[in-house]
Amino acid sequence: MGEDPKGPRTAYRDLFRLHGRRTLVLGAGSGIGREAAHGLAAHGAEVVCADLDGDAAASTANAIGAGAEPYEIDLLEPGAAEQMASRYAETHAVVITAATNVRKRLADYTRDEFDRVLTLNLGATFEVIRAFGPRMEHNGGGSIIAFSSIRASTVEPGQGPYAASKAGLVQLLRTAAAEFGHAGVRANAIAPGVVETPLTAQIKSSPEWYQAYAAKSALGRWARPAEMVGAVVYLASDASSFVTGAVLAVDGGWTAVDGRFEPPAS
């Protein structure tokens, strides 16, 4: 007897369902993190909205309503990630969006500025992975999602330490995929192009700079934070059950297109 055709179709409809699963979003107070929290909740997840700014975290959680709660955290405080993971040990997915940047040429960078960028972008992510990875391993599965960048593979003047931190982030996640994968724990990176967030305010303030970045994208524009949500939900859900150690580019074709010159067809 053949397989009931309604069975697979029903299962496929549930691929993106997150009902009954707790997700934790770091950086949920604004930008990509805030939209990710809303998107995960829209697919049924219980969402912990974590942020350095407790009021912003509460604002996101209140806007989501039932099933969301705020959590104030300074990821640079020793033991903060471990304390958070202990409180939310039964967590299905962790989304890491917190990051910072100092745009300067290498010769102008101070060691303090270098340490500030690497400590948050790479060091804090290491602490989160180290705190949640073993707990997900014990629970029999989970998803760790962190935001890298196109700068992990393409650079420009003034982006050195930031680019290095985002490239290192990819390798941390791949290592987590290798070490925790036997228990069904997946670890993946999302690599956006230019997104209109507080982190890119310096670029947005310069019309020439803003337009140059827009022109570099194959789509000819910047991304909105909401356009990162699909990738987050995908990687948090069963739709990506065999995806780990991957880097998902959500960059409008930035890294696929070599410049914007269009040579004649013949």
What CA–CA distance (Å, rounded) separates 106 from 12?
49
Catalytic residue among 71, 162, 213, 234: 162
Supply the DSSP string of the chain, one letter for each residue. Answer: -PPPTHHHHHHHHTTT--TT-EEEEETTTSHHHHHHHHHHHHTT-EEEEEESSHHHHHHHHHHH-TTEEEEE--TTSTTHHHHHHHHT-S-SEEEE---------GGG--HHHHHHHHIIIIIIHHHHHHHHHHHHHHHT-EEEEEE--GGGT---TT-HHHHHHHHHHHHHHHHHHHHHGGGTEEEEEEEE--B-SGGGHHHHT-HHHHHHHHHHSTTSSPBPGGGGHHHHHHHHSGGGTT--S-EEEESTTGGG---S------
CA 100 to chain centre: 13
Active site (annotated) includes residue 109: no
Backbone dihedral angles phi then psi of residue 265, each to the nearest 5 degrees: -70, -25
Q: Catalytic amino acids?
A: 162
